[in-house]
Chain A
Amino acid sequence: MNVLISGGCKNGKSMYAQRIASELAACGPLYYIATMIPHDEEDRARIRRHLKERDGWGFETLEQGKNIAALIDRDDVDLRGSFLLDSVTAVLENEMFPVALKDGRIAFLGEDEDAPERVRRELVAFASAVKEAGGSVVFVSDGIYGDKGGYNPSTEHYRRALANADRALAKVCDRVTEVTYGITEEWK
């Protein structure tokens, strides 16, 4: 069973998603798809905090910040397991706005205009492959669509691309849940 969880920032989506993913694991493996690609000490500190929060839940961590469909063919990944992908937002960011380390500083390489379509396709392919194998994926995304907007073009492209990815996932997911301050609303 595939689940899409969205809602505002700091509303309890991740904790709720962890619970759903571990319930869905039943007796198969439980995977956490780590989507954050660390670039500096602040990122590494955040990752240590996240690792601590997941400690004791029994998650096996898979580092995959980009190219989600690559998980389908990995020998060490059992598609009958339960996967938690937190977050769609981070995967899209990593692919749309690639960066490189130059002399110890983060350099932006420019917007990848093919990324929105590619990311959407790969997410749907991964969801379908896992479902076909009898496993499940819990996708966590972010509801960033209710404000006045008026951002620069890159940010607006990103917002549109994330919305399109969410809508494509909503179609292939069995459940779509919005989390508002820990309270859940079922959309599907």
Chain B
Amino acid sequence: MIFVFGGAYQGKTEYALQEFGAKTVSDISEAGEPDFSKDVVTGIEGFVSRCAEQGAEPSEYFASRREQWENNILIVTDVSQGVVPIDSKVRAAREANGRLMIYLAKEADQVHRVFCGIGKRIK
């Protein structure tokens, strides 16, 4: 699995498609669950927010489906900076996002960070 992260609007998906020759994308930023039959699963932070709203732990969701995403490219937007959100649900989502990113970074064969459309392998 290749884990790609970076801030909002930095060109993470575009980078993954170009860098790794990926063809198909499952975008779950607005709705739905990951479709691991696609090369790339992006917008995972949106899925994390929806899990957190229902009290579910997204890192457990991923841990229990490990064999399904072992050969995927997983993309998560980094939301760890800035002021701690005042809304408890948003705060929970931000923390769950961080836990998931730590887990994915640990499990990944490669980790890439994207900045201004430029990617860099950091693991």
A143 and B90 CA atoms in complex are apart in Å by 21
Q: How many residues of B contact A (CB 8 A)?
A: 21
Where chain A touches its partner, the secondary structure class is mixed
Is A167 an interface position by the 8 A CB rule?
Answer: yes
> Chain A: residues with CB nearer than 8 A to chain B?
4, 6, 8, 143, 145-150, 159-160, 163-164, 166-167, 169-171, 176, 178, 187-188
Find chain B residues with CB under 8 A from A187 CB. Answer: 115-116, 118, 120
On whether the beta carbons of B116 and A170 are closer than 8 Å, the reply is yes
A164 and B8 CA atoms in complex are apart in Å by 11
On whether the beta carbons of B116 and A176 are closer than 8 Å, the reply is yes
On whether the beta carbons of A176 and B7 are closer than 8 Å, the reply is no
Q: Give residues of chain B (18-64) contacting chain A, Cβ–Cβ below 8 Å.
A: none
| Contact A167:B120 (CB < 8 A) given known A146-B82, A149-B79 | no
Q: Point out the residue from B79, B85, B116 that lies within 8 Å of A166, measured CB to CB.
A: B116
On whether the beta carbons of B117 and A148 are closer than 8 Å, the reply is no
Q: Point out the residue from B7, B90, B93, B118 that lies within 8 Å of A145, measured CB to CB.
A: B7
